[in-house]
Structure 1
Amino acid sequence: MNRQQALQQIIAFGEQRDTAVSALAKFGWDPSFEVISVDSQALILVLTKYLSGVIDADDLELWANFIECRDELEYSDIEGYIYALADPELMGGISLANIEKMLTVLC
């Protein structure tokens, strides 16, 4: 699995995300990385996984923190949502009601 494939698995909270995390750990810092966009569709996919019980609030928070900390990821279109998910205690928490509101605004 290359860097891009690993990042895509994590962005989509794909079935191979654990393998992807391990693969990313093997890659050193590469200043010539290709930027990958994380857009509202990716966010909607992950929020839907939370609402359907595929992932929990801790998974969602970790995912948002991952998005924030990777230089290869560009997420300016959804920055406010990522901030809220990465710092839930500052933003009212992650709950079914809050995530449903986010999805309503996004869709």
Structure 2
Amino acid sequence: MNRQQALQQIIAFGEQRDAAVMALAKFGWDPSFEVISVDSHALIVVLTKYMSGVISADDLELWANFIECRDELDYSEIDGYIYALADPELMGGISLTTIEKMLTLLC
């Protein structure tokens, strides 16, 4: 799995995300990386997984923190949502109600 494939697995909270995390750990810092956009569609996919019970609030918070910390990811389109998910204690927490509101705003 290359860097882009690994990042795509994590962005989509795919079935191979654990292998993707392991693969990313093997790559050093590369100043010539290609930027990957994390857009509202990607966010909707992950939020829907939370609403369906596929992932937990902790998973969602960890995912948002990952998105924030990777230089290869451009999440400027959804930066407010990522901030709220990465710092839930500052934003009222992650719950079915708050995520449903986010989805309503996104759709």
Query: Aligned residue for 1:74?
Result: 74
TM-score, normalising length: structure 2: 1.00
TM-score, normalising length: structure 1: 1.00
Q: Which runs of 5+ in 1 are unaligned?
A: none
- Which 4+ residue blocks in structure 1 deviate beyond 3 angstroms? none
After superposition, residues 44-83 of structure 1 pair within 5 angstroms as: 44-83=44-83
Task: Report how many residues are paired.
Answer: 107
Determine helix, strand or coil for the equivalent of 1:80. helix
Determine helix, strand or coil for the equivalent of 2:23. helix
Q: Which runs of 5+ in 2 are unaligned?
A: none
Determine helix, strand or coil for the equivalent of 1:15. coil
Q: CA RMSD in A?
A: 0.2
Determine helix, strand or coil for the equivalent of 2:30. coil
Instruction: Give % identity.
Output: 89
Query: Aligned residue for 1:2?
Result: 2
Q: How many angstroms apart in 1 are the aligned matches of 2:78 and 2:8?
A: 17
Could you give the per-residue CA deviations for residues 53-98 of structure 1, whole angstroms, max 9, x where no partner exists?
A: 0000000000000000000000001000000000000000000000
